[in-house]
A and B are shown apart, each in its own frame.
Chain A
Amino acid sequence: MEDKKVMLEVNDLQTTFFTDSGDIPAVDHVSFHVHDGEVLGIVGESGCGKSVTSLSIMGLVPNPPGKVVGGDIHFEDKNLLDLSEREMRKVRGNDIAMIFQEPMTSLNPLFTIGHQMMEAVLIHHKKKGKQYAKDRCIEMLELVELPRAKDLMDEYPHQLSGGMRQRVMIAMALICDPKVLIADEPTTALDVTTQSQILKLIKELNDRLNTALLLITHDLGVVAKTCERVIVMYSGQVIEEAPVDKLFDSPKHPYTQGLIQSVPDVRKKQDRLYSIEGNVPLPGSIHKGCRFADRCKFAFDRCFNENPEFYQTSDVQKARCFLYDKEGAVEHDKALTRS
């Protein structure tokens, strides 16, 4: 993995929503990177900042109220945050493409599939002409394994099922050969069978086209099936980063441990499913200290007063928890012996 080129690097990204009830740091000093052809999973529950992170990369954070207030996003020697809107438009859909959670509503209901897909080509390759765009659309529709590709071009989104629409979205996102594809919960709104088909398709296309993939999901099953490396987000921060096998075998952060325990195992008989007690802190109610402290069974004094750093726990794994600070671990042991 080391010899691979870093396609996209996010450093210290901060996106804040300025609302009447106060400033909400939706993305708080988030850093990560994706290699060429790699599948990076971003996991976390609703409201943890996953989607805002992806919209920040695309430069599509709804403004007002949201705004990227700090950090940088490196893509091909450029900092995307320094680009003008005009330059950013050339990146969107062309170098970095995105597919969304809601296939039912993500396509414009009043234009044909063909029109919308051709638009995506023509925005970036106007000179190549309509015939090229049309051929390219049919080629892409076939690539995402949609039957009757030619007929589909003249159909409207409401004539297609959710799974088909998501395939169209994928075809449309990949139509300009983007170097990075951001998939924001691409399978959440689909039924289980369709879900696994779409995931399989995304994975295959990622292998075939060598597109770096940023897969945002709250579903650990999806992560296990698809991703190579995972970052776990909690309350706007990255709290753990690990290769996918390490994440499931030896999760380091107590939150990740909790998440993995919450996945029900059909082979074990359980009366009650495991869940992490408490709730994600409401944005705006964030106090100093570790954001997970209130819900953490290992929490000790320091956790409530200081925000932990991102500690390297092994060559490839990192966790934002004082348990992995040398002093912290000692304090924790002391705390344990006291109780």
Chain B
Amino acid sequence: MLSYTLKRIFQLIPVLLGMTFIVSMLIRAIPGNPAQVILGQQATAEAVQALTEKLGLDKPWYIQYIDYLKGILTGDLGESFRTHAPVVEEIWPYLAATVELAVFAMIIAIFIGINAGIVSAWFQNSWFDYIAMVLALVGVSMPIFWLGLLGQWGFALELNWLPTTGRESVRDPVNAITNFYIIDTIIQGEWGQLKEVIRHLILPGLSLATIPMAIIARMTRSSMLEVMRSDYIRTAKAKGQKMFFVIYKHALKNAFIPVLTIIGLQLGLLLGGAILTETIFAWPGIGRYIYDAIGFRDYPVIQSGILVVAFIFVMINLIVDLLYSFIDPRIKYD
């Protein structure tokens, strides 16, 4: 198991290397000189030239790329053109905001998605099954910006139950320690703030959860239907086991592997920063961080931001692969 894990981590190097190469090519394909963008339209040609040289953008692209790689190897993700702060330090609060939102959304998606899928399979062709599957189809097809807006209109504006945007109450901001606000407020015993943080999470969390929830529900249902026909399910029933345990213990564990794959992929996507959701709900997450950086042609932020996101994505998938062998003893990696 350990040697397999190390081998897999070793294999990540070419993946991430290729990724940085493609990204550095792509951002240079975006028209516009960063120095010009930073200085504005009125800047003199000399000033632009001076800044270009200062940022090292006058060197050939492959030199810039190699310099960037050298930096990464020493743990330096570069400095933002805009703020001159090191990306390593700057990125963390954004990343934490995204992780908090994504994990919150994923917990909702997994809990509701799996249970809806199970009940649909258990009572196949019942009214519950039909309604759940129609909702799942709607969930997959509904554009998130539209759903988010509907949520803001209904629950925030009309009913006034939940806040529209942000991570915290503006009047009572959270004192950030880890930047995971739920954890921060609990550490500091700020229960009023915790309540606010959770209230702020609900709308963006639900919007973000919709698509993974629908996909998980559909995958769980089809996987369960397959498993429910197995001989060992009949054996479990013949033992006199209650249907609830037959389904939640014997069937679910067997049906879980494809569902786990989907969960891993979806979580990876959510952690990549849901730009749409983060924009609608003014969520200071990594998606918006990178998106804003693109507007400013802030190359180091774009490159490193995407590198971090890609790294998280491949790590989650590695963890999912390792989890398979915990669920299924027949899967052995060494």
Contact = CB atoms under 8 A, between A and B. Distances in A.
Contacts, number: 67
A223 interface: no
A100 B241 contact: no
- The range of chain A's interface size is 20 to 34
B232 A107 contact: yes
Contacts of A123: 239-241
Given A102-B231, A108-B232, A60 B238 contact: yes
Contact of B329 (A89, A98, A110): A110
A100 B241 CA distance: 17
Contacts of A107: 232, 235
A89 B235 contact: no
B254 A108 contact: yes
A169 B241 CA distance: 16
B232 A94 contact: no
Interface string A151-178: 0000010100000000001001000000
A58 B253 CA distance: 25
Interface in A98-126: 98, 100, 102, 105-111, 119-120, 123-124
Interface in B215-250: 230-232, 234-242, 250
A106 B300 CA distance: 57
Contacts of B240: 89-94, 120, 123-124
B137 to A, nearest CB: 24
B232 A97 contact: no
Contact of A119 (B230, B237, B239, B328): B239
Interface residues of B, number: 19
B7 interface: no
A120 B246 CA distance: 12
Nearest to A91: B240
B253 A110 contact: yes
Contacts of B230: 105
B330 interface: yes
B22 interface: no
A60 B237 contact: yes
Nearest to B124: A64
B248 to A, nearest CB: 13
Given A107-B232, A108-B254, A156 B329 contact: yes
B236 to A, nearest CB: 7
Contacts of A91: 240
Contact of B232 (A98, A109, A156): A109
Nearest to B232: A108
Given A105-B231, A109-B328, A92 B236 contact: no
B242 A100 contact: no
A50 B235 CA distance: 18
Nearest to A104: B231
24 contacts: A58-B238, A60-B234, A60-B238, A89-B240, A92-B237, A92-B239, A93-B239, A97-B238, A100-B234, A100-B235, A100-B238, A106-B234, A107-B235, A108-B232, A108-B250, A109-B254, A109-B330, A111-B250, A119-B236, A119-B239, A123-B241, A156-B329, A156-B330, A172-B239
Given A108-B232, A119-B236, A119-B241, 12 more contacts: A92-B240, A100-B234, A105-B232, A106-B231, A108-B235, A108-B253, A110-B253, A110-B254, A111-B250, A124-B240, A169-B235, A172-B239
